[in-house]
Amino acid sequence: MPATTKLKTVPQRAAEATRRLRTVLGLEDLKLLSAAIAEAAADEADRSAQFRSHVLTIYQELAMLQVSGSSRRPTHAADEVELIPLPGTEGIRIDPFGTVDPILLLRLYGPHQLRTALSGYSYTALKEAVSVVKSRYPKTKPKDGRKADALLDYIVEQIAPGN
């Protein structure tokens, strides 16, 4: 790679890959495409060791970008915790490219796991989630919109009080 070429970030690579797939397949609905990709990839991973290896290679490459990037976020305990979906939520899917929907996360994981589910998101994603909450509770706002922890506290206090 030439020295003048800037490395792409993880979100940039995800957006580019999604754009390529949408173009190649001629599809428009991002939510349907995301679900189709996940299902097709899971099916292919079951069948092909070569595909699994390819995914792991790309994953490790992306993980290195996150670690070496200037926007590296600190490791949270949530990174090491396995979230357990509530019974009856088996059909719920989260769009990895869409806006974080804290109401959907509350439905999926319940009030006791909401903070953990949200703590894995970036500051930017939490700001988007705050917008979702503010649309539901317009006369409210976070104590300090400049801090991810304050955004997290606000979201949880508004939609899952007492947790």
For the chain, the structural domain boundaries read 10-68, 85-159
Write the DSSP symbol of residue 5.
Answer: S
pLDDT in the model for residue 75: 45
pLDDT of residue 1: 39
| Contact present, 153 and 129 (Cβ < 8 Å) | no
Specify the pLDDT at position 47: 94
Say if residues 106 and 114 touch (Cβ distance below 8 Å).
yes
CB 101 within 8 A of CB 135: no
User: Which two structure tokens, joined as six digits, stand for 4?
Assistant: 């003048």
> What is the per-residue pLDDT for 141?
94
**Cβ atoms of residues 7 and 65 within 8 Å:** yes
pLDDT of the residue at 135:
94
Whole-model pTM: value is 0.52
Residues of the chain with pLDDT under 70: 1-7, 65-81
